[in-house]
Structure 1
């Protein structure tokens, strides 16, 4: 899966973690591993222009998703027919706008950007939240994907810490795990 992240926002963001959460969500949703996704972080001015042009709404917003036109007619939800390799589309994030939301929610900007990335992925896959039932489904799935991604990251960090500890105790720091002892 190819995920390209570009930050043109002027706000420091961890592009690696944004790609990681997007990849996790796409894998969990059984999107073809040959799929491609572009994620762009932009300024509030750029987001305002996009929001006004494509949604006819004034001012900036936190995230917008732009599915590829060739796929727009097909539902890309996991209960739809098998997805082939494709350019899924673009997710545009506005970190400056998301800062206020993060403060209100009481969590770091990075957490808000991860949430918005998953939100954008779900929109690209055909999910929406215009109706209460759709909102419950989409936000429930969004929360589950985020929680599962965070748990997977914590487990990986714990395994890595244990590996380092074991290596230090065994005196194998810098050696590959599968190197036989003599």
Structure 2
């Protein structure tokens, strides 16, 4: 088992070099290591401002584009139903195993951690504004999205400082400096 990155480039404003996928995989490995996460799949999609605007409006109720959105698969609130992969049968006399134990037995299957969607035009504009490369900004947004997938938030100053320090540390390790 391992951390797996599945990515798509669904925009044509500024095509992302497929070689950049190696850097994204490195970032995923470093971020996973920093968080003690060894297994799972992260789906990353690069989009344009129109697409991320629509997603932001639909899923967050915010009617404007943004730079990155994260949709965690492992969050379970009390109102959410469990997702069952494949057919599972319960025997009343047997102990029921958890979802993670069942999926580990499925060869080649990685538990989805979630989806990250990044607006490439917004990343390019922010890179120019901050004076660093587009690759560094895409890397920053990817790590930011990953940290959201695993439970980080920046809803107060202390949490924001912790999250941004962790992002910067991971980016430095990967050589994506300002």
Same fold (TM over 0.5): yes
Residue 32 (structure 1) aligned with residue 32 (structure 2): no
Structure 1 or 2, whichever has the larger Rg, is 1
Residue 19 (structure 1) aligned with residue 19 (structure 2): no
Deviation of 1:44 (Å): 1.1
CA contact (8 A) 1:65 1:92 kept: yes
**Matches of 2:69 and 2:24, distance apart in 1:** 15
Query: Number of aligned pairs?
Result: 140
Q: Which residue of 8, 12, 18 corresponds with 1:6?
A: 8
Deviation of 1:126 (Å): 0.2
CA contact (8 A) 1:118 1:142 kept: yes
**Matches of 1:88 and 1:56, distance apart in 2:** 23
Q: Which residue of 47, 51, 57 corresponds with 2:62?
A: 57
**Matches of 1:118 and 1:23, distance apart in 2:** 10
Deviation of 1:17 (Å): 2.0
**Matches of 2:34 and 2:49, distance apart in 1:** 31
Consecutive unaligned residues of structure 2, counting only runs of 5 or more, are: 78-99, 102-109
CA contact (8 A) 1:65 1:124 kept: yes
Which residue in 2 is equivalent to 1:174? Answer: none
TM-score (norm 2): 0.73
Between Structure 1 and Structure 2, the one with more helix by share is 1
Please state whether the residue corresponding to 2:152 is helix, strand or coil: coil
Consecutive unaligned residues of structure 1, counting only runs of 5 or more, are: 75-82, 152-182
Deviation of 1:21 (Å): 1.4
**Matches of 1:12 and 1:20, distance apart in 2:** 20
Deviations 1:13-61 (A, max 9, x none): 223322321232113321133x111000011111000011111112211
**Matches of 2:173 and 2:23, distance apart in 1:** 14
Please state whether the residue corresponding to 1:150 is helix, strand or coil: coil
Which residue in 2 is equivalent to 1:160? Answer: none
